[in-house]
Structure 1
Amino acid sequence: MITTRTSSLFRAFLLNAPAALGGSAALEGVMMKAPERWALAVRLPDGAIHLEVHDDPALSKRFAWARWPLVRGVVALYDALRVSSRALSRSAELAGEEQPTSKTALYATTALSLLLGLFIVLPGFLAGLLVSAAAQPLLYNLLAGLIKAAILVGYLLSIGRVPEIGRFFMYHGAEHKAIAAYERGLPLTVENVQRQSAYHPRCGTTFIAFVILTGVLVYSLMPAPEVLWWRLLGRVLLLPLVAGLAFEVLRYSAAHTDPLSSLLKALGFRFQMLTVRQPTEDIVEVAIQSTQTATRPA
């Protein structure tokens, strides 16, 4: 789903270091993205681990403009969705679509993608029924933000009760743990990876939370036409700006330890609790294989 499959893939675009690594959960697998390539590891029905690697330099490596502030956030989102969607589709083929885990997780992913399409428009519409956007722009946008958060949290809480989705979230946790061990320079053993936190400050779930917060600020500063469709269209058109600012907030919070960044990280970890589960050792093994393959010298 969009929150997990983009997930910490944003790490690959947040860091400027050559060793930058990001990833996302897949169906019975983990995708890891290095600056020049991405690798996919999937646990097959027979228990073996399938590995494949694809050369695919990030846009931020190919174009200088893709590293500009604000622009890089939109580029990161595009690259994350592009690569993780390919990995998700491929993992569904490898895991076997006839398996309940694959079908359930794929349906949940599709449903959330459709939900996020309404995520931009529906909250603004509902908030407009209760508060005048022109007369009380701050209150209107705060209410729209709360409705966004309620929609997202409610959906994730409901699907998180499905055992198959819970397993998908375990791969998300394993992906976080493997990257944390890699970033600390630890040998990628099951023991070392399991000791890491399942939450990471540069996760895509945190990014979604920051999009909600940033949207409240940006939309409150903009004129709010009384005509509903013009108002909703304006929210859609401003989404790249909101995403770009949210990315910069994510980048700041991950790189600093001051009280503000600590508060932002705590908020992000709260949201990650909805999409992350503690993985088992066999799931961690898949994440390790994907990390090693993605980071292996060409």
Structure 2
Amino acid sequence: MKYSGIGGQAVIEGIMMMKGEDYAVAVRRPDKEIEVKKDTYQSITKKAKILQLPFVRGVFRFADSMIIGMRSLTYSASFFEDDEDAEPGKFEQFLDRVFGEKLESAIMAAVLVISFILAIGIFMLLPLGIANLFKGVITSDHLMAVLEGVIRIAIFIIYIKLVSRMEDIRRTFMYHGAEHKCINCVEHGHPLTVKYVRESSKEHKRCGTSFILIVMVISILMFMVIRVDTIWMRILSRIILVPVIAGISYEVLQCAGRSNSKFMDLVSRPGMWMQGLTTKEPDDSMIEVAIAATEAVFDWREYLTENFPGWEKQLEES
């Protein structure tokens, strides 16, 4: 595997792929044609050198992915909106008067803030509260930290299992698999064709699912070391340390995603197992969408020529 620098995300009936500051969203429209939109995005980390420092940049790169993800989701959803000609309601008219042209940005900001608050509540504070119920039985702070972490992972697994029952989410997980397959295909030296993408793995080291699992493991280790007496201080510590945990987790994920060492493969393995919940095998039509998004931002032929000389023989053989 050789690092390519491309990454992506599944959206509604499509995929977003990004390389550097360029990103493209490819969507399978209701008429079955593929629509591709290319745009640019400058990372928050480019605004100040201090934001590019290791263990600092991870928090802002995560914010970048949330912003681009929301933009891509909004674009993909626009192809499947119902009653486009319907009159806007009073609340929509009120928002339009207040925010004007900035309405979409305001809604996006509100969604990001609410999502962050819910994530903190469900995946950080709720496990703490449940674990605290066992405080009378478990006296060891180390065991309490482990219990809290196990509960956090269990909540995540249950959440994924529940949402995956929805048809739209199941299809999104299939597009997620197609995204990984495209990246794995080129990073392992194969031409970006439906045949070779289909044969590639749907698990990838740099996946956001792996990031979430790394966050949970790092949080266990950190809370085993950091001890506070009261429940309120524990709650405060969980909130304050989120950026620190995210920063460390980002560096671990990046190191694992760029390395072929056996140790980093071992570190990556639990996250790739977890991806079995968030990725499904795509059909060929989904792979075609993934290829369209990839080709819009990434010259895979030039990349293969530079990193895998002789790759053209695979096309001849196929």
Q: Quick check: TM above 0.5?
A: yes
What code does the residue aligned with 2:80 have?
A
Q: Any stretches of 5+ residues in structure 1 without a counterpart?
A: 1-14, 99-108
What code does the residue aligned with 2:264 have?
S
What code does the residue aligned with 2:76 have?
S
Q: Any stretches of 5+ residues in structure 2 without a counterpart?
A: 84-110, 301-318
The offset of 1:262, in angstroms, is 2.5
Q: Which residue of 1 aligns with 2:70?
A: 85
Question: 8 Å contact 1:39–1:294 — kept in the other structure?
Answer: yes
The offset of 1:247, in angstroms, is 1.4
Question: 8 Å contact 1:28–1:95 — kept in the other structure?
Answer: no
Q: Which residue of 2 aligns with 1:276?
A: 279
Q: Which residue of 1 aligns with 2:7?
A: 22
The offset of 1:255, in angstroms, is 3.2
Alignment partners' CA distance in 1, 2:125 and 2:196: 44
The offset of 1:185, in angstroms, is 4.6
| TM-score normalized with structure 1 length | 0.83
What code does the residue aligned with 1:169 have?
F
Q: Say yes or no: does 1:71 pair with 2:56.
A: yes
Pair 1:282–1:114, CA change in 2 (3 A): farther
What code does the residue aligned with 2:77 have?
A
Alignment partners' CA distance in 2, 1:61 and 1:34: 15
Q: Say yes or no: does 1:202 pair with 2:187.
A: no
What code does the residue aligned with 2:248 have?
L
Alignment partners' CA distance in 2, 1:155 and 1:65: 36
Task: Decide which of 158, 164, 178 is 2:162's aligned counterpart.
Answer: 158
1:236-255 alignment, distance < 5 Å? 236-255=239-258
Rg comparison, structure with higher value: 2
What code does the residue aligned with 1:265 have?
S
What secondary structure sits across from 1:30 in the alignment?
strand
What code does the residue aligned with 2:74 have?
S
Pair 1:206–1:276, CA change in 2 (3 A): same
What secondary structure sits across from 2:15 in the alignment?
strand
**Count of aligned pairs between the two proteins:** 270
CA displacement 1:66-114 (0-9 Å, x = unmatched): 331111211221111111111111111123358xxxxxxxxxx999877
Once the two structures are overlaid, the 10-residue window that deviates more, 65-74 or 165-174, is 65-74
Pair 1:60–1:97, CA change in 2 (3 A): farther
Alignment partners' CA distance in 2, 1:125 and 1:70: 28
What secondary structure sits across from 2:133 in the alignment?
helix
Alignment partners' CA distance in 2, 1:116 and 1:270: 22
| TM-score normalized with structure 2 length | 0.78
Q: Say yes or no: does 1:127 pair with 2:161.
A: no
